[in-house]
Structure 1
Amino acid sequence: MTTGPSTSSGPSADRGVIDLLGLLAYAELGSFFRLAADAGLAPSLRSQGRLAAIAATEQVHYQAIRDRLVELGADPEEAMAPFVEPLDAWHERTRPKTWLESLVKTYVGDGIAGDFYCKVAELADDGTRAVVESATAETGRAEFIAETVREAVEKDPALSGRLSLWARRLVGEALSQAQSVAVSRPELAALLASGTGDGAEEGTAALGHLAEVSRMFAALTARHSARLEAMGLTA
């Protein structure tokens, strides 16, 4: 039976932990730039201010993750580098056409990814887990987006179908992206599988880890319905 990394509060040099933090760091950096851009397109000063504040929080999260990587003896830029291409490709495939679609992407796409990061972080050391949980907290952001989208749908019910379909597409793309990352970064997938007691032989371990990533994301989509309901959309 395999065992996961130490859950002590001391630093861990586990390659899977470094990958997790590198992935999340680049995701947070990208989120900052996207939210800042969305703030400039917001239809009201109130929305501009709220999104600008959320973007600023994402930058704080990025810095905290970066600092954690340094504590663990890793180079932050090197840790992020393997995830630049796959995450950029995902965002290119899911480029929103409207401001509301952008908000839904932030809530749904980033939300599911955040659930995944937190689940994997449960198998990391205490310091890493605390940083990840803080960085992925939805407080404030979730409430603002849910309220904004819900109000828009109430004013124009025709938006509901289109935005619901968009949200479903985001979930599918997120699942596909998780599999892609697991294939390219087996250490990250192995960190996840370490919590399952998977005793697969070395020759089949990679496939087992990939399957575990898929099973975890399938389970995490259960929260997807709650997010859609909060925005006034349908599953």
Structure 2
Amino acid sequence: MREVSSQESVSAGVVDLLGVLAYGELSAFDRMAEDARTAPTLAGRAALASMAAAEIGHYTMLERHLAERGVDVEEAMAPFIGHIDDFHMSTAPKSWLESLVKAYVGDGLAADLYREVATWLDEPTKELVLAVLSDTGHSAFAEREVAQAIAADSTVRDRLALWGRRLLGEALTQAQYVVAERDGLAELIVTGTGDLSGIAGLLRRLQQKHHKRMQSLGLG
């Protein structure tokens, strides 16, 4: 592995991207650690605790990458705290299953966006982003838990399907607010997609992936 000079700089857009990723990972750790305490089984509790540990590991990777380039992770995260916290406050789950679907759908939607953006980055940063977005095992766990719940009570499907649609709307709204306020991040996305039609295409792909994810949960 090559050594990185502390003087190596990154663009404002990349700092924004890594900052929002870092706060997203920190928030995911908090949520999964909290959800683990409400798990109906010890196996579920252990699984979520393990996933939470993986999320904080991803956060540490981002913190280190930024520090090597002279960027303080707290400063990078600061612009995104309000929007991410607002999203989580407005979509507070009321049950164990809602918390699983939120993490699966909400985090998955964000990951889809960041993976698209990663294709426009330099190779080291692209590799970092993709590593941070690697599945911690939550997808298979959520699919299994939701499938078991639906098998036991078919009325669960409609409630969770409605919840998933709400999460999509809230997530897209907050994402638009963030991009509108951060010139560097907006420039990164506009440059990568090419023009406004490219951005529209990106949003369509995100919605299509969301629908596939809902189908994987049995909620399509």
Change in Cα spacing, 1:212 to 1:96, as seen in structure 2 (3 Å) is farther
The Cα offsets for residues 101-126 of structure 1, whole Å up to 9 and x where unpaired, read as 00000000000001111111211221
Q: Hey, what does 2:86 align to over in structure 1?
A: 89
CA–CA separation in structure 2 for the residues paired with 1:136 and 1:216: 18
Query: How far 1:175 sits from its partner (Å)?
Result: 1.0
Give the corresponding residue for 2:216. Answer: 230
2-side partners of 1:139 and 1:40: how far apart? 18
Q: In 2, Cα distance between the equivalents of 1:183 and 1:76?
A: 22
Structure-2 separation of matches of 1:65 and 1:51: 21
- Unaligned 5+ segments in structure 2 are none
Aligned AA for 1:132?
V
* Equivalences for residues 141-220 of structure 1 within 5 A: 141-198=138-195, 208=196, 213=199, 215-220=201-206
Shift of the 146–176 alpha-carbon distance from structure 1 to 2, 3 Å rule, reads same
Q: TM-score, normalised by structure 2?
A: 0.92
Looking at structure 2, the residues matched to 94 and 214 of structure 1 have their Cα atoms a distance apart, in angstroms, of: 25
Equivalent pair of 1:28/1:61 in contact (CA under 8 Å): yes
Any runs of at least 4 consecutive aligned residues in structure 1 with deviations exceeding 2 A, and if so which?
Answer: 9-12, 211-215
Aligned residues: 215
Structure 1 gaps, min length 5: 1-8, 199-207
Q: Provide the rounded CA distance (Å) in 2 between the counterparts of 1:73 and 1:222.
A: 38
Partner of 1:61: 58
Question: Residue deviations 1:136-180, cap 9 Å, x none?
Answer: 122511111111111111111100000000001111111111110
Rounded Cα–Cα distance in structure 1 between residues aligned with 2:39 and 2:106: 20
Deviations 1:164-212 (A, max 9, x none): 00001111111111110011112101101112334xxxxxxxxx5xx75
Q: Which piece of structure 1 moves more, 9-18 or 48-57?
A: 9-18
Which deviates the most, 118-127 or 9-18? 9-18
Amino acid at match of 2:44: S
Of residues 215-224 and 95-104 in structure 1, the stretch that sits farther from structure 2 once superposed is 215-224
CA positional deviation for 1:62? 0.5
Q: Tell me: CA distance 1:214–1:109, structure 2 relative to 1, closer, same or farther (3 Å).
A: farther
State the superposition RMSD in angstroms.
1.7
2:17/2:185 contact within 8 Å kept: yes
Asked whether the equivalents of residues 29 and 53 of structure 2 are also in contact (C-alpha less than 8 Å), the reply is: yes
